[in-house]
Amino acid sequence: MAIKLCELAKGTVDIELDALAKCAGQIATNCYGVVGMAYRSKKDEFASLLKRDSLTKGIKVEVNEDKLNIDIHIIVDYGVNISAISTSIMNNVKYQLGKITGLEIESVDVFVEGFRVQE
């Protein structure tokens, strides 16, 4: 599915929700303390760490009256402040994705699916 960014004299500019998810994933993984995106399998309810090329599987983007709602599932480093990381991700995704697309971001919800312990 695509969302219309703008309409020009010669046509329209649309962006796929998958592209928005990839942008949100890049923004989120650049935040301090985020190890990567998580994918929760509905079959076995097991969260697993995704590689960088699978950023979109840990993100759900929905459109509600031309406003975006984004769910981001992450894995973080053990010992980091979860509240601070989540707030940072929410603010960064909302600001940067809004700036890039010009779309209004209604909500960004962060789900911490697990921790990585440094050995």
pLDDT at site 93: 96
Domain boundaries, the chain: 17-116
pLDDT at site 91: 97
In sequence order, which residues have a C-beta less than 8 Å from that of residue 31 and are 6 or more positions away?
85, 88, 89, 92
Q: Could you read off the pLDDT tens digit of each residue along the chain, which spans 119 residues? A: 778 777 888 888 888 999 999 999 999 999 999 988 887 555 544 455 545 556 677 899 999 988 999 999 999 999 999 999 999 999 999 999 999 988 999 999 999 988 888 76
Pairing of strands 104-116, 67-77: parallel
pLDDT at site 44: 42
pLDDT at site 28: 93
CA nearest 86: which of 101, 67, 104, 71?
71
Contact 28, 74 (CB under 8 A): yes
pLDDT at site 24: 94
Fold (topology level) of 17-116: Alpha-Beta Plaits (3.30.70)
- Report the C-alpha gap between 105 and 76 in whole angstroms: 24
- Report the C-alpha gap between 54 and 36 in whole angstroms: 10
